[in-house]
């Protein structure tokens, strides 16, 4: 029912070893054929045992582990099969002479058979994956190797050119009854190893066990009642074909999703790939549970406890339909991702950069102008080709025309960057393929005379980056708190914060501004800002500030999330024409710096180079409590910079600015009709005046001193 070696017969058996002179079987199979579609059958395992292995009733080892071969078999796959029987060890003649055999087996009443013969030798299959070119030349070499093994010819010449050809084989996986053979990963060494050990029978291993049923040895004394219930050949064939198809598809999916696609995509399209990997785990769990059920039923059938219908019914159950449908769907997804990976390689080979528009954080309600602004960012030395997989498929002629046009423009203007923007994975529906800027615009000339100052804003989660942007814009707009109170707050980013009110210290949640899916205020400890987003507002008559708000580091989801956020940030700013500065936002009285700060600075220097240090700006918020000074955070930063490998990072009065966002929060709270005491209002007014002074100094630094 479930074959298992129970132990040794506790008696001295006389075994006889005979050296065999059998001929070698050595075959070379090409691709997926009738012979190679069932690998267990190819190596000579009988039907009943094959079924037990597939259902994991019996765990495969040695050459039977070929069932675990993970790759798909195609026209580039080759199988080099070798089998050689060198000796046979038998105790059967001695065993049948024994008397009182019941005493030999009564220690374990489960025993049904005894191993009476062991055939030893070499059994191996090398599965070889060829490159898509040079097949004919490599096949000729493989045939020479096969002939050498079959006829025991050690002196077949192999030139350095031949060795070089063999080294171009993509992969060689060996399954064998000899462990040292299974560890070899190139076909030349497999060939040499077999020739080396062929006549060394001590290095050979077990090939076949010959079992004799106990009742045939001693029908009178055996206590076992052997049940010879067997499945019909037709039933086994149907079982096997159905189960092997499922197993093969899942094995191929596993390799594609967890090995081939990550290598092909190179950290691109992480979201759809991760979703596909999670779906695969769910299918795999369903499959494992189903196989466990079928295996248990098959064992019960072999014990004559259930009818064959019980086994076949589960093969035709809704669960199996779900597994099949889910596997087909996931195969389609993996096919699409493979096509996308190959498209990205094709685009890059023709000079394109690939950009996944999902990183823009678009929603169904995003408008086209907003998306154009995000992509162009006042930079017309880049040409964007916006499309989706669906549009590419439906309008292939137009896609090819756009593609050719952009390559031609790049040839005419080598300084032009051409970027393929893929909207396939966005929530926003791109209805037609577009080129940005449009033909009416001149690529090298900005639309207006406004000069943009691009500043990247970085800081720990919860430090108040989004609030700082709002506060800074209001400090520049209103010189006094009276002016601000007479107007509505200038809210660039929706705000949400908790404010303590009245003498009872009640807390009120203050929200202001339109709902923005990019600002998630509901998960404490996680960054409120979900994606990079740029915000533009005038800071003088001549210049506009484009400040890029970013997800905060120190996210409670871990360092890995911080590294993912840094990748998102670099991807976003990579499409900016230039960056004027990087502004780090801190609170003035922290006890220790965030541990991710070191990695953050390291990645910034790796991305921009050492000169980026001259473009660092340091801003402190909530600075009213430290009299608008950096407070205890300053010595921590100085110590940090002193220990950092890159020295001379500027950090002084010139590039350091202190603000207080509480006066802006007070302004927002007034919109909710909250009442404050006069003394509280006086404090907010003082804070506003100092923050306006710092904002004006900051503006002058950005406009006149930062380059």
Q: Where along the chain do its domains lie?
A: 16-37+73-226, 234-345, 350-436, 451-705
Please tell me the predicted confidence (pLDDT) of residue 439: 43
Please tell me the predicted confidence (pLDDT) of residue 226: 41
* Beta-strand pair 382-387/417-422: parallel
Sheet of 417-422: strand order equals 352-356, 417-422, 382-387, 434-436
Mean pLDDT across 191-207: 91
In the block, residue with structure tokens 């990695």: 599
CB-CB contact of 50 with 243 (8 Å): no
* Rounded-to-integer distance, Cα 635 and Cα 306, Å: 78
pLDDT in tens, 440-492: 333 233 333 447 899 999 999 889 898 899 999 999 999 999 999 998 888 88
Give, in words, the CATH class of 451-705: alpha beta
- Say if residue 70's pLDDT is above 90: no
Distance (Å) of CA 399 to CA 27, 392, 442: 49, 6, 22
* Rounded-to-integer distance, Cα 629 and Cα 625, Å: 9
- Say if residue 64's pLDDT is above 80: yes
Span of 82-91, 112-121, 200-209, 252-261 with lowest mean pLDDT: 112-121
Which of 215, 234, 212 has the alpha carbon at shortest distance from 223?
Answer: 215
Q: Strand, helix or coil at 147?
A: helix
* Beta-strand pair 205-213/113-129: antiparallel
Please tell me the predicted confidence (pLDDT) of residue 541: 84
CB-CB contact of 1 with 303 (8 Å): yes
HSE, side-chain direction, 13 A CA sphere, residue 546: 20
Give the H/E segment covering residue 325.
helix 318-349
Please tell me the predicted confidence (pLDDT) of residue 181: 95
**Percent over 70 (pLDDT), the chain:** 83
* Rounded-to-integer distance, Cα 272 and Cα 257, Å: 11
Mean pLDDT across 118-141: 92
Q: Give CA angle at 173 (138, 151), nearest 5°.
A: 60
Mean pLDDT across 681-691: 93
* Rounded-to-integer distance, Cα 519 and Cα 363, Å: 13
| pLDDT class of 639 with cuts at 50, 70, 90 | very high
Q: Which residue has the higher pLDDT, 186 or 672?
A: 186
Which of 123, 237, 244 has the alpha carbon at shortest distance from 178?
Answer: 123
* Rounded-to-integer distance, Cα 257 and Cα 663, Å: 52
pLDDT in tens, 318-360: 788 888 899 999 999 999 999 999 999 999 999 999 999 888 8
Q: pLDDT averaged over the chain?
A: 83
Mean pLDDT across 178-202: 93
* Rounded-to-integer distance, Cα 190 and Cα 179, Å: 12
pLDDT in tens, 381-430: 678 899 999 999 999 999 999 999 889 888 887 878 889 999 999 888 89
Which of 656, 664, 698 has the alpha carbon at shortest distance from 684?
Answer: 664
pTM, two decimals, is 0.53
Which of 188, 180, 195, 187 has the alpha carbon at shortest distance from 149?
Answer: 195
Span of 120-134, 615-629, 662-676, 686-700 with lowest mean pLDDT: 662-676
Q: Give CA angle at 327 (321, 333), nearest 5°.
A: 140
- Say if residue 601's pLDDT is above 80: yes
CB-CB contact of 139 with 30 (8 Å): yes
pLDDT in tens, 508-548: 788 876 655 444 444 444 445 567 888 888 898 888 999 99
Mean pLDDT across 486-503: 80
- SS3 readout for 335-390: HHHHHHHHHHHHHHHCCEEEEEHHHHCCCCCCCHHHHHHHHHCCCCCEEEEEECHH
First to last CA, the chain: 80
């Amino acid at each position: 029912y479930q074959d298992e070696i129970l132990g040794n017969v506790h008696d001295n058996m006389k075994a006889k070893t005979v050296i065999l002179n059998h001929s070698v079987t050595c075959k070379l199979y090409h691709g997926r054929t009738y012979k190679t579609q069932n690998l267990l059958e190819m190596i000579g395992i009988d039907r009943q045992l094959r079924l037990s292995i597939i259902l994991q009733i019996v765990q495969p080892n040695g050459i039977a582990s070929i069932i675990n071969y993970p790759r798909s078999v195609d026209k580039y796959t080759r199988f080099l099969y070798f089998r050689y029987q060198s000796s046979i060890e038998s105790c059967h003649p001695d065993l049948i002479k024994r008397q009182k055999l019941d005493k030999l087996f009564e220690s374990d009443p489960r025993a049904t058979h005894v191993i009476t013969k062991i055939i030893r030798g070499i059994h191996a299959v090398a599965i070889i994956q060829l490159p898509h070119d040079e097949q004919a030349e490599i096949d000729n070499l493989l045939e020479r190797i096969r002939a050498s093994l079959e006829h025991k010819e050690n002196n077949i010449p192999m030139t350095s050119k031949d060795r070089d050809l063999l080294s171009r084989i993509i992969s060689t996986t060996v399954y064998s009854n000899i462990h040292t053979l299974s560890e070899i990963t190139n076909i030349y060494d497999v060939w040499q190893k077999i020739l080396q050990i062929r006549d060394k029978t001590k290095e050979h291993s077990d090939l076949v066990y010959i079992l004799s049923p106990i009742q045939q040895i001693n029908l009178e004394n055996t206590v076992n009642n052997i049940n010879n219930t067997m499945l019909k050949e037709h039933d086994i064939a149907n079982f096997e074909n159905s189960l092997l198809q499922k197993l093969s598809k899942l094995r191929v999916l596993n390799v594609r999703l967890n090995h081939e696609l990550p290598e092909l995509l190179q950290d691109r399209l992480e979201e759809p790939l991760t979703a596909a990997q999670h779906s695969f785990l769910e299918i795999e769990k369903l499959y494992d549970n189903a196989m466990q059920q079928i295996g248990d039923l098959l064992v019960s059938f072999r014990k004559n406890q259930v009818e064959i219908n019980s086994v076949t019914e589960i093969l035709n159950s809704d669960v199996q339909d779900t597994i099949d449908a889910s596997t087909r769907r996931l195969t389609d997804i993996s096919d699409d991702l493979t096509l996308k990976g190959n498209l990205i390689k094709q685009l890059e080979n023709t000079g394109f950069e690939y950009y996944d528009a999902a990183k823009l954080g678009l929603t169904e309600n995003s408008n086209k102008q907003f998306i154009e602004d995000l992509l162009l960012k006042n930079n017309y030395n880049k040409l964007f080709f916006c499309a989706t997989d669906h549009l590419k498929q439906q309008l292939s002629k137009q896609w090819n025309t756009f593609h050719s046009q952009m390559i031609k423009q790049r040839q005419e203007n080598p300084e032009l960057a051409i970027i393929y923007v893929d909207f396939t994975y966005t929530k926003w529906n791109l209805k037609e393929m577009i080129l940005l800027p449009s033909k009416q615009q001149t690529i090298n000339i900005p639309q207006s005379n406004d000069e943009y100052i691009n500043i990247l804003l970085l800081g720990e989660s919860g430090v108040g980056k989004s609030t700082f942007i709002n506060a800074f814009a209001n400090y520049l707009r209103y010189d006094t708190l009276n002016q601000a109170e007479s107007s509505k707050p200038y809210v660039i980013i929706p705000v949400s914060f908790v404010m303590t009110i009245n003498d009872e210290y009640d807390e009120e949640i203050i929200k202001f501004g339109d709902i923005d899916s990019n600002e998630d205020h509901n998960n404490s400890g996680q960054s409120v800002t979900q994606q990079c987003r740029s915000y533009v507002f005038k800071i003088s008559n001549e210049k506009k500030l484009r400040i890029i708000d970013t997800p905060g580091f120190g996210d409670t989801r871990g360092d890995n999330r911080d590294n993912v956020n840094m990748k998102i940030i670099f991807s976003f700013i990579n499409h900016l024409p230039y960056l004027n500065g990087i502004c780090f936002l801190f609170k003035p009285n922290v006890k220790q710096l965030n541990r991710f700060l070191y990695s953050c600075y390291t990645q910034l220097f790796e991305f921009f180079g050492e000169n980026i240090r001259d473009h660092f700006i340091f801003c402190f918020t909530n600075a009213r409590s430290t009299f608008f000074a950096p407070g205890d955070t300053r010595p921590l930063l100085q110590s940090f910079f002193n220990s950092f490998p890159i020295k001379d990072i500027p950090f002084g009065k010139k590039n350091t600015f202190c603000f207080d966002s509480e006066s802006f929060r007070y302004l927002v709270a007034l919109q909710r009709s909250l009442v404050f005491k006069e003394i509280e209002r006086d404090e907010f007014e003082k804070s506003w005046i100092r923050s306006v002074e710092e904002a004006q100094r900051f503006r002058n630094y950005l406009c006149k001193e930062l380059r």
